[in-house]
Amino acid sequence: MPTTSNVLRSSSRIHVETVSGAQPKRSQRRYLVFISHSSKDRWIAKQMSKLIEQQGRLYNVKAFLDEKDIQGGYPIADSIRLSIEQCNEFVVLLSKYSIDRQWVLVEVGAAWALRKHVVAITDKITPEEMPDITRSHKAIDLNEFDTYLKEMVDRAKKVK
């Protein structure tokens, strides 16, 4: 029996990847967290993804991370757009590598336009260095990521 689905758009069709054999969850509705980051921060983003899914497993929380969730041969931009549309919240890892990256700014802008809950996680940057679009949001320092995890789980609990 399928328990988890990853949906990727491919041109004019939608591809659904089904994963079976997972343990039943308390909540069957998926809570999706999109993680935006620079490729130079890949290792940190992977750790964030693992922690998000571990802490949110009882509430069916999944983290979208481009390199693990986009299969070979699928259009990257369409997959990212669809995942931002479907996410419940959007996390952007802001570091010296990501603050001026075009794709990170495009993704943040898309999340903002779709009125997604945007959380900036900062790594060794000051509020003045943050992009304007994220400066109005309360940021969480990477060293306080456990604070984000607790808040995220509280939000996921409320989704029915």
pLDDT digits (tens, 9 = 90+) for 58-92: 999 999 999 899 999 999 999 999 999 999 999 99
| pTM attached to this predicted model | 0.82
Residue 23 lies in a domain: no
Q: Is residue 142 assigned to a domain?
A: yes
Residue 157 — φ and ψ, nearest 5°? -60, -35
Q: Is 63 helix (H, G, I), strand (E, B) or coil?
A: strand
Q: For residue 34, tell me if it sits in a domain.
A: yes
CATH number of the domain residue 75 falls in: 3.40.50.10140
6 assigned to some structural domain? no
Contact 58, 28 (CB under 8 A): no
Host domain of residue 56: 29-157
